[in-house]
């Protein structure tokens, strides 16, 4: 079904004002695609990287933006089975283009949403929750006996990670930039919180662990934390470098990992952990079950009108947000 949509698109990389709100006519969904009308759209830090053009393989321009949404199916492309018009679905990944009232999407990215879950809550938790699912269950399966360092613990991914790690029983040391964010991180399950803009987090981790170091460090901050995160690990500990909110990580000498204690470093992406449909569905079942059981709550979601997406980006980049950010059409 041809649909009139409004969408943010951009034709040059840069600050939030490169985003242009444009009406356009959406073609019928192609074979293997579904068309959806969005109910809620998740904002993720990857959208900032896409908009700035800082990825190794930047998007081809002009482009849409956004990799996560919840919506109602309005049309099915040829050959699509297993979905019905009127059904509510969520998705993570696919070509950027979530900042839109309507969009077409490969059916392989769509996930049925349990009726009990609210659309805004799912948009707040799908991309970030599936990230946490693979980070703590599959990339490094965290055990109850583990002590974990998690940076940006009051952010979107961080808030979900702390809740899920608390349920596992791990001891979580979170870092945040302010006292207000420290309260959020503690409420989400951190046992210790370090305000890393005021304290040396490496020294504090050494103090908290009695000099042993942590089993796993999850670092999405990048430039400002990467090297010290390595130095927070116990011998044979693992650094999971999964983002660069503060800028690109410095070069790493593999030989230094031996000298620092036979350390492991990995650089995972949700794309590789959800590419296989069976793994993607299993991860989503795991996430939705944790949400339905109340293990994970989308507490403190900040919502903006979809047309205010530029403002949402400004706030996210200025570290003004806690928890997830959601756009509502
Ligand atoms: N590899 C993957 O599969 C994957 C998937 C999803 C997300 N990620 C990464 O996970 C991270 C979190 O994503 P999110 O969407 O949930 O964002 P977010 O955590 O809500 O926002 C980013 C947070 O990073 C912290 N930060 C530290 N230095 C910063 C700086 N110079 N500029 C901006 N923020 C800074 C801020 O927390 P404080 O103010 O407390 O420092 C900020 O709130 C991002 O780096 C993202 O790229 C990776």
Centroid of ligand 1 to alpha carbon of 130 (angstroms)? 15
Distance between start and end Cα atoms, the chain: 20
**Contact between 114 and 288 (Cβ < 8 Å):** yes
Atom from ligand 1 closest to the CA of residue 269: 3
Mean pLDDT rounded to a whole number for the chain: 97
Tell whether ligand 1 has an atom less than 6 A from the beta carbon of residue 185.
Answer: no
Same-domain pairing of 168 and 215:
yes
Residue 312 and residue 317: Cα distance in Å, rounded?
Answer: 9
Report yes or no on 134 lying in a domain.
no
Task: Give one word for 57, left, alpha or beta, with left for phi > 0 and alpha for psi -120 to 50.
Answer: beta
CATH number of the domain where residue 85 is located: 3.90.180.10
Range of the domain at 53: 3-125+277-328
Query: Which of 224, 247, 267 delimits the end of a domain?
Result: 267
Which range has the worst mean pLDDT, 24-28, 162-166, 199-203, 229-233?
A: 24-28
Residue 304 and residue 300: Cα distance in Å, rounded?
Answer: 13
CATH number of the domain where residue 196 is located: 3.40.50.720
Q: Are strands 3-10 and 20-26 parallel, antiparallel or unpaired?
A: antiparallel
Residue 186 and residue 172: Cα distance in Å, rounded?
Answer: 10
Instruction: Kindly report whether the peptide bond that precedes residue 224 is cis, defined as omega within 30 degrees of 0.
Output: no
Tell whether ligand 1 has an atom less than 6 A from the beta carbon of residue 38.
Answer: no
Query: Which of 267, 295, 315 delimits the end of a domain?
Result: 267
- Share above pLDDT 90 across residues of the chain, in percent, rounded to a whole number: 96
Report yes or no on 138 lying in a domain.
no
Q: Residue 3 — very low, low, confident or very high, per pLDDT cuts 50/70/90?
A: confident
Coil, strand or helix at 107: helix
Element (H, E) at 148: strand 147-150
Same-domain pairing of 115 and 155:
no
Dihedral sign, Cα of residue 250, residue 252, residue 256, residue 257: positive
Same-domain pairing of 171 and 211:
yes
Ligand 1 binding pocket mutation candidate from 221, 314, 315, 317 (most atoms within 8 A of CB): 221
Report yes or no on 171 lying in a domain.
yes
* 240 to 73, 138, 316: CA distances (angstroms): 36, 12, 22
Q: b/e string for 214-249 if b means 16 or more Cβ within 10 A?
A: bbbbbbbbbebbbebbbebbbeebbbbbbbbbbeeb
Task: Give tens-digit pLDDT for 40-50.
Answer: 999 999 999 99
Same-domain pairing of 263 and 148:
yes
Same-domain pairing of 31 and 112:
yes
Q: Looking at residues 105-112, what average pLDDT do you find? A: 98
Q: What is the pTM of this model?
A: 0.98
Atom from ligand 1 closest to the CA of residue 323: 20
Task: Give tens-digit pLDDT for 253-312.
Answer: 999 999 999 999 999 999 999 999 999 999 999 999 999 999 999 878 999 999 999 999
Q: What is the tally of structural domains in the chain?
A: 2
Residue 200: pLDDT above 90?
yes
Chain mean position to CA 223: 18
Q: Looking at residues 204-215, what average pLDDT do you find? A: 98
Centroid of ligand 1 to alpha carbon of 3 (angstroms)? 34
């Amino acid at each position: 079904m041809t649909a009139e949509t409004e969408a943010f698109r951009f034709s040059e990389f840069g600050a939030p004002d490169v985003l242009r709100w444009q009406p356009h006519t959406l073609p019928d969904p192609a074979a293997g695609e579904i068309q959806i009308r969005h109910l809620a759209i998740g904002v993720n830090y990857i959208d900032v990287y896409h908009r700035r053009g800082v990825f190794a393989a930047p998007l081809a321009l002009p482009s849409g933006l956004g990799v996560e949404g919840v919506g109602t199916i309005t049309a099915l492309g040829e050959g699509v089975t297993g979905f019905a018009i009127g059904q509510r679905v969520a998705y993570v990944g696919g070509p950027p283009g979530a900042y839109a009232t309507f969009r077409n999407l490969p059916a392989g990215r769509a996930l049925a949403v349990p009726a009990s879950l609210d659309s805004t809550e799912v948009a707040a938790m799908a991309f970030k929750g599936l990230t946490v699912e693979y980070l703590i269950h599959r990339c490094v399966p965290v055990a109850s006996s583990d002590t974990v360092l998690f940076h940006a613990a009051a952010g979107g991914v961080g808030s979900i990670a702390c809740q899920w790690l608390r349920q596992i029983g791990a001891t979580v040391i979170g870092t945040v930039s302010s006292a207000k964010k420290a309260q959020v991180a503690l409420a989400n399950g951190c046992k210790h919180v370090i305000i890393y803009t005021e304290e040396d987090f490496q020294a504090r981790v050494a103090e908290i662990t009695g000099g042993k170091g942590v089993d796993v460090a999850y670092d999405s901050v990048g430039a400002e934390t990467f090297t010290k995160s390595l130095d927070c690990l116990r011998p044979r500990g693992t650094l999971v470098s999964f983002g660069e909110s503060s800028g690109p990580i410095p070069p790493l000498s593999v030989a230094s990992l031996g000298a620092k204690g036979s350390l492991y470093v990995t650089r995972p992406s949700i794309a590789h952990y959800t590419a296989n449909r069976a793994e993607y569905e299993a991860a989503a079942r795991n996430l939705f079950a944790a949400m339905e059981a109340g293990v994970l709550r989308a507490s403190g979601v900040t919502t903006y009108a979809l047309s205010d997406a530029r403002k949402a980006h400004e706030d996210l980049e200025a570290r003004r947000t806690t928890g997830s950010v959601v756009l509502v059409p």
